[in-house]
Amino acid sequence: MSTADYGEILEEVRRLLGRVVKSPVRIEEKTELVNDLGLDSLAALQLVEEVEDAFDISFPLNELSQIRTVRDFVLQIQQEIEA
């Protein structure tokens, strides 16, 4: 992805989360990765691998601790794309 369009990133993150999350939960911007989607530490690490490849970026694992919602995640990805 050459541009850091928020909407496009959100759609891709939704798609990747849909593959990782087992339960059929509607994924919105305010959805919390751990509390709402039940993402455990292992799944979070796998998700980061998928995100890195989808956007061709480096996404340090230490940044995960600051991310609570899907929106936080998308904004951080946007920042990494623009870095």
Partner 1 sequence: MGLFEKFDAIGLARKALEDLGVDPFNVEMEQILSPTEARIAGREVLLAGTNNYLGLTFDPRCIEAACRATRTEGTGTTGSRMANGTFAGHRALERELAEFFGCPKAIVFSTGFIANLGVISTLTGPGDVVLIDADCHASIYDGCRMSGADILRFRHNSAADLEKRLRRLGDRTKSTLIIVEGIYSMLGDRAPLAEIVALKKQYGAWLMVDEAHSLGVLGQKGRGLAEEAGCLGDVDFIIGTFSKSLGAIGGFCVSSHPQFDLLRYASRSYLFTASPSPATVASVRQALQILAAGTDLRERLWQNAHRLYNGLEELGFSLGSEPTPVVAVHMGSKEETLGAWKQLLHQGIYVNLVLPPAAPEGKSLLRCSVSAAHTEDQITRICSAFRALKE
Distance CA 75, CA 42 (A): 22
Please tell me the count of residues contacting partner 1 according to CB under 8 A: 14
* Sole window of 2-10, 11-19, 49-57, 67-75 interacting with partner 1 (rule: CB under 8 A): 49-57
* Sole window of 3-11, 31-39, 46-54, 70-78 interacting with partner 1 (rule: CB under 8 A): 46-54
| Ramachandran category for residue 71: left, alpha or beta (phi over 0 → left; psi -120 to 50 → alpha) | alpha
- Both tokens of 21, joined, read 């999350």
List interacting residues with partner 1 (CB under 8 A).
40-42, 45, 49, 52-53, 56-62
